[in-house]
Structure 1
Amino acid sequence: MANSNRSGSKTTSLAARTLASSSASGVQKSLAASVLSQASTNRVTGKAMEGVASSALRNPNSSPVTQKLAGSVVSQSSKKR
């Protein structure tokens, strides 16, 4: 079943700024790329990226930016998984 959730404008703006930032971590950039790839399509998050996002959300040391991006990625996951 496809997920009809799409990234909102605030989240896509955050994702774009994150990708452009030289101080963003690799995890943040991966999450940001996933958010942007799903911004205007019906694509869903892949299983591997779901794992990355889930780990980021469970990590109490994740920054607010990481958590926001991870939350968006998880919300666009396949409803079957």
Structure 2
Amino acid sequence: MNRKQTDSNISSLASQILTSQNSSAIQKQLAGSALAQSNTNKQTGKSMETAASNVLKSSKYSDTTKSLAASILSQSNKNR
């Protein structure tokens, strides 16, 4: 089990993304996942791991989106 939790800076960023009309769907998915893991022992689900991994592999996403993806992957189940 991974005991990492979302950092307060990422939580703040995620909150801003969720309330912004200019955020993309993938940003909102990643932000929701990051916030769900804030102050809990929840881990990233398999589908979100895949989405976050795809974001990090692609050059079309912004640094903000990649930061969220990296945070989510750091909280994934290491046994998968």
Q: TM-score, normalised by structure 2?
A: 0.98
Q: How does 1:1-80 map to 2 (within 5 A)?
A: 2-80=1-79
SS at match of 1:17: helix
Measure how far apart 1:79 and its partner are.
1.1
1:55 & 1:79 partners in 2: Cα distance?
17
Aligned residues with identical type, % of pairs: 44
- Taking the aligned partners of 1:3 and 1:49, their CA distance within structure 2 comes to 15
Task: Kindly provide the amino acid, as one letter, of the partner of residue 64 in structure 1.
Answer: D
Measured in 2, the distance between the counterparts of 1:31 and 1:78 equals: 16
Number of matched residues? 80
Bigger shift: 27-36 or 56-65? 56-65
> What residue identity is the alignment partner of 1:16?
S
